[in-house]
């Protein structure tokens, strides 16, 4: 690149002179400094009138291996851009799609040549190794096949390099393995694209869609950035799924237990429960003033981990040295949420600098929600099923007295005009089902919700009002009574047990779902 600066007619004369002499001068300068790969500086024209001309040489690229394949071309193209989103575009998908034609290991990297050392110098080899193991931005996908083979895929990027690696170990890949691996290409790339987006997203649903009879587990780990680092740890197998992601905004942590497949409901039942939870998560975010991007990450991850469960079951095997087997019926599932058990939480990074006059007034957001199920008893004829759902929201934040006006709280009392909210909400729903000698003896759901809103109003730094508004509601619904009423109305000639086993039952699954809004719970209709 040539940069020339002058003024008036003198600028034109200098430009012509410089253009004519540029080639010769640059060649001479290059011969004098052939021992270095640094850019050459050339002065053109008289010292008192001419501006400097810079001939900038792009740094050479160092490749780990021959760069004639398609993957290397993709690396070269991506390396010409900056930013993780552009650097990693299409790489994850390409590495998995490669298994359609090639099941061998692969390693490639491209770096800027920052010194006159040879391409195979110890420093370059060390830098290449770091790209595959400890780059500033590292993504690793680890997949275990049911046959025992392990596939590790790594993407690494930093300012001066970009690398990818595929390592196949502990066995060989069958045609079914290779097809299943390639089938994850789109899901892997979407996960990468989400992580590198601004703000980041958790698009993980594509990594849960695999046949566990072919691939036994999928793990994704990522660390992006050396400051304001974004991390991800994801795991999925036949019985468990989990994700934990941390970043500037906060932390998302979700774990799903699919081992009790006998309690999993129909697809429509699961969708109903999932939508109910997502609605309550959104309400918690709005009520607690949660960070929008963080709440979206939480909802996306919650949806991904609670979708594509795979096959359900009718038999549950308890743990212990002497396991007990339980056969569950459609009646049992009809009184459950249909979802797998889970624990999920989202916590926002606290902000303690909002109000310098009152530093104890921190802006916080924390939300937890869970479902746990237990199946006990001596066997199918005498079984007890309990399913408990719980949620807790704790949040605090500042708001302007004038809606839409941005707060700017300082030590000046004239700026101290605001509302300080403290939110504490809890909800619970517990479904209990009991059988004795094969007969349904009791079935009920107990629900409760409490909402507490504490608002302090300050005007010019003085506390003008301090109000706490609690709202508490609880109710119990007799599910057995509802089933008996339906039996008496629809099939009184058959036994109650036959009715439960052979007739279409009223849908009770929606009535057992937790409701975190006390007012909504209070006004919801009872079945009996």
- The verdict on residue 506 lying in a domain is yes
Q: Is 50 exceeded by the pLDDT of residue 23? A: no
Band of the pLDDT at 428, cuts 50, 70, 90?
very high
Would you place residue 125 in the very low, low, confident or very high pLDDT band (cuts 50, 70, 90)?
Answer: confident
Residues 382 and 306 in one domain: yes
Assigned token pair, 52: 């400097």
Q: Is residue 228 part of a domain?
A: no
Q: In terms of domains, do 137 and 283 share one?
A: no
Residue 99 belongs to what domain range?
60-223
Domain match, 75 and 19 both: no
Do 424 and 289 have their domain in common? yes
Could you tell me if 390 and 514 are in contact, meaning their C-beta atoms sit under 8 angstroms apart?
Answer: yes
Query: Given the structure tokens 């009574």, which residue do they identify?
Result: 481
Same domain, residue pair 309 and 216: no
Is 35 domain-assigned?
yes
230 assigned to some structural domain? no
Interhelix angle for 267-287 vs 292-305, to 10°? 160
Give pLDDT tens digits for 302-326: 999 999 999 999 999 998 889 999 9
Q: Which pLDDT belongs to residue 353?
A: 85
Q: Which of 192, 223, 254 is the last residue of a domain?
A: 223
349 and 493 together in one domain:
yes
Asked whether 443 and 335 are in contact (CB, 8 A), the reply is yes
The answer to whether residues 51 and 60 touch, using CB atoms and an 8 Å cutoff, is no
pLDDT tens column, 97-119: 999 999 999 999 999 876 655 55
Asked whether residue 3 carries a pLDDT value surpassing 60, the answer given is no
Residue 232 placed within a domain: no
184 & 253 share domain: no
- Give how many domains the chain has, as a whole number: 3
Whether residues 310 and 447 share a domain: the answer is yes
Domain boundary among 188, 223, 258: 223
Judge whether residue 464 has pLDDT over 80: yes
pLDDT tens figures, 237-270: 999 999 999 999 999 999 999 999 999 999 999 9
Average pLDDT over residues 123-136: 86
Q: What is residue 54's predicted lDDT score, i.e. its pLDDT?
A: 57
pLDDT of residue 20: 38
Integer CA distances (angstroms), 172 to 146, 176, 216, in order: 11, 11, 15
State whether 84 and 35 are in the same domain.
Answer: no
Nearest CA to 127 among 143, 103, 111?
Answer: 111
| Joined tokens for residue 302 | 């919650």
Residue 19 pLDDT more than 70?
Answer: no
Asked whether residue 74 falls in the same domain as residue 47, the answer is no
What rounded mean pLDDT belongs to the chain? 89
Residue 122 has pLDDT above 90, yes or no: no
Per-residue CA distances from 334 to 433, 509, 511 (Å): 11, 5, 10
Q: Give yes or no for residue 14 having a pLDDT over 80.
A: no
Q: Please indicate, yes or no, if residue 1 is contained in any of the structural domains.
A: no
pTM of the entire structure?
A: 0.86
Whole-number Cα distances in Å, 67 to 73, 77, 110: 7, 12, 9
If asked whether residues 290 and 141 sit together in one domain, one would say: no
User: At residue 352, does pLDDT exceed 90?
Assistant: no
Question: Domain end: 194, 223, 252, which one?
Answer: 223
Q: Supply the pLDDT for residue 500.
A: 94
In a domain, 15, yes or no: yes
| Cα 526 to Cα 521: distance, rounded to the nearest angstrom | 10
Contacts of 267 (CB under 8 A, 6+ apart): none
Instruction: Tell me: do 184 and 246 sit in the same domain.
Output: no
Whether residue 105 lies inside any domain: the answer is yes
């Amino acid at each position: 690149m040539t940069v020339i600066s002058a003024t008036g007619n003198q600028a034109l004369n200098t430009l012509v002179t410089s253009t004519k002499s540029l080639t010769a001068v640059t060649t001479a300068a290059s011969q004098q400094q052939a021992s270095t790969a640094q850019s050459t500086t050339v002065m053109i024209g008289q010292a008192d009138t001419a501006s400097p001309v810079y001939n900038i040489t792009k740094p050479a690229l160092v490749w780990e291996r021959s760069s004639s394949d398609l993957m290397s071309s993709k690396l070269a193209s991506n390396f010409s851009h900056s930013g993780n989103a552009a650097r990693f575009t299409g790489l994850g998908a390409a590495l998995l799609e490669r298994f359609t034609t090639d099941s061998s290991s692969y390693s490639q990297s491209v770096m800027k040549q920052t010194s006159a050392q040879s391409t195979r110098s110890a420093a370059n080899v060390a830098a290449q190794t770091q790209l595959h193991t400890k780059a500033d931005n590292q993504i690793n996908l680890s997949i275990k096949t049911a046959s025992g083979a392990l596939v590790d895929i790594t993407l690494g990027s930093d300012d001066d390099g970009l690398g990818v690696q595929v390592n196949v170990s502990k066995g060989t890949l069958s045609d079914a393995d290779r097809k299943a691996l390639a089938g994850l290409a789109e899901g892997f790339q979407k996960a990468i694209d989400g992580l590198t987006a601004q703000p980041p997203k958790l698009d993980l649903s594509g990594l849960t869609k695999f046949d566990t009879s072919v691939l036994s587990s999928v793990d994704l780990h990522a660390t992006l950035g050396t400051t304001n680092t974004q991390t991800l740890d994801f795991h999925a197998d036949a019985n468990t799924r989990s994700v934990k992601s941390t970043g500037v905004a906060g932390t998302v942590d979700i774990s799903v237990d699919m081992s009790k497949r006998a309690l999993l409901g129909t697809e429509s039942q699961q969708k109903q429960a999932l939508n109910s939870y997502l609605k309550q998560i959104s309400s918690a975010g709005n009520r607690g003033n949660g960070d929008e991007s963080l709440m979206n990450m939480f909802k996306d991850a919650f949806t991904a981990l609670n979708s594509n469960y795979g096959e359900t079951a009718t038999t549950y095997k308890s743990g212990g040295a002497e396991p007990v087997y339980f056969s569950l019926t459609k009646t049992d599932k009809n009184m459950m949420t249909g979802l797998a058990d889970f624990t999920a939480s989202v916590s926002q990074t606290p902000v303690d600098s909002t109000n310098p006059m009152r530093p104890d007034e921190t802006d916080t957001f924390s939300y937890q929600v869970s479902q746990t199920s237990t199946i006990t008893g001596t066997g199918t004829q005498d079984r007890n099923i309990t399913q408990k759902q719980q949620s807790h929201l704790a949040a605090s934040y500042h708001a302007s007295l004038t809606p839409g006006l941005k707060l700017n709280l300082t030590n000046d009392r004239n700026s101290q005009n605001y509302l300080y909210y403290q939110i504490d909400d809890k909800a619970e729903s517990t479904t209990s089902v009991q059988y004795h000698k094969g007969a349904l003896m009791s079935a009920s759901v107990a629900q409760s919700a409490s909402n507490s809103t504490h608002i302090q109003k300050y005007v010019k730094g003085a506390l003008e009002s301090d109000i706490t508004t609690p709202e508490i509601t609880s109710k119990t619904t007799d599910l057995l009574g509802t089933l008996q009423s339906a039996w008496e109305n629809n099939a009184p000639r058959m036994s109650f047990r036959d009715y439960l086993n052979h007739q279409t039952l009223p849908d009770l699954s929606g009535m057992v779902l937790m409701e975190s809004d006390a007012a909504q719970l209070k006004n919801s209709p009872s079945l009996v």
